[in-house]
Amino acid sequence: MTRATSVAGDPAARAVELLSSMGVTMPAPGSLVARTPITGAALTTLTASSGADVDAAIGKAANAFRDWRTVPAPQRAAVVRRLGELLREHLHELGELATLEAGKIGAEARGEVQEMIDVCEFAVGLSRQLYGRTMASERPGHRLMETWHPLGVVGVLSAFNFPVAVWSWNTAIALVCGDTVVWKPSETTPLTALAGHALLRRAAVEVGADPEIHQLVQGAADVGERLVDDERVALLSATGSVRMGRTVGPRVAARFGRCLLELGGNNAAIVTASADLELTTRAVVFAAAGTAGQRCTTLRRVIAHTDVVAALGDRLCDAYHQLRVGDPLEDGVLVGPLINGRAYTSMQDALARALADGGELLCGGERVIVHGEESYYVRPAIVRMPAQTEVVREETFAPILYVLTYYDFDDAIALHNQVPQGLSSTVFTRDQREAERFLAADGSDCGIANVNIGTSGAEIGGAFGGEKQTGGGRESGSDSWKAYMRRATNTINYSTELPLAQGIEFSPVSS
């Protein structure tokens, strides 16, 4: 255990100041405690939504949907465009609030808000590109086409590690598609949710739209469960653990609702004998240690060729020793706190299991005391493993990087794919054949597969999501908008005849 310097002032007063600057009126105090992982202290308390509150919020969203769905998509985009402008105006304030509430360093927190701005721009452009298609009909005098229509109320369950960005991915797209939104954020980040909600409703009012198109409910898991089970919620988009997804998916399916799941990741990098080790080291360190290892896209496994594993391990440990762990409000800090004590315990348990399995701790893993015993800072850890044991196959939401070795590239791909998660992946190589093989059908089985870049930091233009236990959902870019709409196939007969498909003859009525 080591100690680090810190610069924490009064985070509770600062949080109120930041919220006020964004036009947020503090709600009445209650039992829901907003804490900062920077010190472990309470920022404020809020009143959790009751069952009746959730039911009313869903009802308001459903009522607003009746009119919102008929507004032309480019006009709906005006709300999202204005939201993006407000986010630009308050980028630093919302970013600092995310730092206070989620513990992110300033650069990453501001990057999260920039991501929100980017997805707003994407959604505004998308509002004029919700394309259907016209297909050739086999019947003369007929036109065959498909059209896309708003789906209904979209429920969004988001996690603490990206307290506003993931909400914006879903909400910006859902709104331009003509849906309304009910948002249930993580109970550990209620204040950033208040800010996001306030900015969106302000945007709606300023462009003359109904602010009831967006609703916010706050509380623990029981609040989210009401969204899961309510038949008025047409689509439930849930970001969280695999365990959560195992519960949510079947319950939504049981009522024939739609589900978009973004669950765990156990992301790996294959480092080949030809890899540029300097580039690889930079990419691995950010992907593995950024956000204190608390990203679904965090790099958790390195599968390195036997010829380079020792040199790579040395480079990584050298870089890890230079990582400054401490108060994320302090300049120069690169690794902030874990979200809470449970995360710290989970990390220490995983390290103990890895060492019991024959692993060798190369560096890190120890606790760093920054603001006393109520906050949890750790040095990112690197563990050399003799095999891909059960603890390596699991996702531990903390900065642990397991290093495995391979000799044959086919074995590396097999090792890469032998985990239940399938979110993000990468290969570091200067061999085009290896790069192309990794991206091929028998290569990486993940939803995101990269070459010579880390597993995290996805751009909003590409659809984000994964396979296997990651849930199969896709958010943000590409054609992910289709998840938020319903498709209709239309056949128009503009002739005076009534030919049937497949040439069927059926004419009981004489002319």
The set of catalytic residues is 262
CA distances (Å), 153 to each of 232, 388, 486, in order? 7, 43, 12
User: Does an H or E element contain 101, and which?
Assistant: helix 91-102
User: What is the number of other CB atoms lying within 10 angstroms of the CB of residue 71?
Assistant: 17
Question: DSSP assignment of 306-334, as one string?
Answer: TTTHHHHHHHHHHHHHHPPBS-TTSTT--
Q: How many CA atoms lie within 13 A of 398 on its CB side?
A: 31
Q: Find residue 236's DSSP bridge partners.
A: 155, 259
Task: With beta carbons less than 8 A apart as the criterion, state whether 204 and 60 touch.
Answer: no
CA distances (Å), 156 to each of 179, 263, 289, 337, 415, in order? 12, 14, 28, 26, 34
Dist. CA 370–CA 8, nearest whole Å: 10
* Residue spans of alpha helices (H) in 424-502: 432-439
Task: With beta carbons less than 8 A apart as the criterion, state whether 101 and 11 touch.
Answer: no
Task: With beta carbons less than 8 A apart as the criterion, state whether 78 and 124 touch.
Answer: no
Helix %, strand %, coil % for the chain, to 5? 40, 20, 40
The residue assigned the tokens 């204190």 is 292
DSSP 69: T
Angle at 111 (CA atoms; ends 424, 399), nearest 5 degrees: 50
Phi, psi for 128 (deg, rounded to 5) = -105, 15
Q: Find residue 235's DSSP bridge partners.
A: 154, 258
Dist. CA 502–CA 365, nearest whole Å: 67
Q: Which residues make Cβ contacts (< 8 Å) with residue 172, sequence separation at least 6?
A: 80, 83, 116, 119, 120, 122, 123
Burial class for 332, CB neighbours closer than 10 Å (0-12, 13-18, 19+): exposed
DSSP 471: -
Dist. CA 108–CA 291, nearest whole Å: 8
The residue assigned the tokens 């967006």 is 214
Dist. CA 456–CA 104, nearest whole Å: 15
